[in-house]
Amino acid sequence: MAVHLRGVTTVLLPGTGSDHEFVQRAFSAALHDVGASVLTPPPQPHRLVEAYREDLDHAARAAAPMPIAVGGVSIGAAVAAAWALSHPHRVVAVLAALPAWTGAPEAAPAALAARYSAKLLRRDGLVAATAQMQASTPNWLAEELTRSWAGQWPWLPDAMDEASCYVAPTRSALSGLTVPMGVVSATDDLVHPVEVGIEWVSAAPRASLRTVTLDQIGTDPAVLGAQCLAALRDAGA
């Protein structure tokens, strides 16, 4: 059954250290094209996951009795998928961009990167840690993170530590997802491996995967939203 998002409130959550400005650029154009109402709440780094859940709860209450669509990037996608699993009658679709791990993070690259960045920020401070990040990160991503890190300081290390411990939906949990899910992974992203996207899609009953590259995201972040919606259409076909 095809998924129709016209008039549907769609809540998108940022990844760790990122922010609502990036999510808005990534998703708004594609969702507005299909008539969805887009919400991109800013992260609250001192209570990251709890605030994300509250954002989803509030959006669902405001939209009632209509269901909502949920999604996000990295940990934002994981929290959104978990919320959808917990509220099966209040959601119509999940849009998951760059999922980072399945179940417990353990040694997932994104969790290790978050812990390392948190340690660096606490030890060296925002300016020095940002400079080190810029030296080892593609230019477009360094620009994004420079802005979002400054906006979330001084609570940013707390958000990174919290995210690095978050238990994402397991394969078993994803097998119970009753709504369609569109997933996008980047084939050359070592922090958010494409294998995780494949795992999510193979576990969920109605899910599909589209892939992009990091260069494509850097050229135009809107490719994430466009490909998420394309995957959602595949999943709902």
pLDDT in tens, 200-216: 999 999 999 999 999 99
Whether residues 136 and 172 share a domain: the answer is no
3-state secondary structure of 82: helix
Do 212 and 179 belong together in one domain?
A: yes
Say yes or no: 81 and 136 in one domain.
no
Range of the domain at 53: 9-104+168-236
Tell me, what's the pLDDT at 1? 57
**Cα 170 to Cα 101: distance, rounded to the nearest angstrom:** 9
Res 2 pLDDT > 90:
no
Amino acid at position 11, single letter: V
Task: Specify whether the CB–CB gap between 68 and 92 falls below 8 A.
Answer: yes
Residues 82 and 136 in one domain: no
In a domain, 4, yes or no: no
| Residues 100 and 115 placed together within one structural domain of the fold | no
Number of domains in the chain: 2
pLDDT in tens, 139-179: 999 999 999 999 999 999 999 999 999 999 999 999 999 99
- Whose structure tokens read 């595949």? 234
Query: Stretch 18-40: mean pLDDT, rounded?
Result: 97
* pLDDT, averaged across the chain: 97
Residue 114 pLDDT > 80: yes
Residues 6+ apart with CB under 8 A from 73: 12, 13, 14, 15, 18, 22, 23, 26, 97, 98, 224
Structure letter (DSSP) for residue 102: S
Q: What percent of the chain has a predicted confidence (pLDDT) above 90?
A: 97
Do the Cβ atoms of 179 and 205 come closer than 8 Å?
no
How far is 137 from 141, CA to CA, in rounded Å?
6
What is the Cα–Cα distance from 90 to 109, expressed in whole angstroms? 32
- Within-domain flag for 19: yes
pLDDT of residue 15: 97
Residue 237 has pLDDT above 90, yes or no: no
Give the strand pairing for 207-212 and 181-186. parallel
In this structure, are 81 and 175 located in the same domain?
yes
Q: What confidence tier does 236 reach under pLDDT thresholds 50, 70, 90?
A: confident
Task: Please report whether residue 1 resides in a domain.
Answer: no
180 and 145 co-located in one domain: no
Q: How far apart are CA 95 and CA 174, in angstroms?
A: 14
Q: How many Cα neighbours within 13 Å face the side chain of 177?
A: 34
178 shares a domain with 196: yes
Do residues 41 and 63 both lie within one domain? yes
Walk across the sheet containing 9-13 and list its strands. 37-39, 9-13, 68-73, 91-97, 181-186, 207-212
Nearest CA among 143, 119, 122, 130 for reference residue 218: 143
Same domain flag for 121 and 20: no
Q: Are residues 157 and 222 in the same domain?
A: no
Give the C-alpha separation, 43 to 11, whole Å. 13
Note the pLDDT tens digit of each residue in 66-105.
Answer: 999 999 999 999 999 999 999 999 999 999 999 999 999 9
Instruction: Count CB-CB contacts under 10 A for residue 214.
Output: 18
Omega of the bond prior to 154 within 30 degrees of 0, cis?
A: yes
Give domain status of residue 230, yes or no: yes
Note the pLDDT of residue 3.
Answer: 84
CA dist., res. 26 & res. 186, Å (int): 14
Q: What percent of the chain has pLDDT over 70?
A: 99
Among residues 143, 161, 179, which one ends one of the domains?
161
Q: Say yes or no: 177 and 216 in one domain.
A: yes
CATH of the domain at 20: 3.40.50.1820
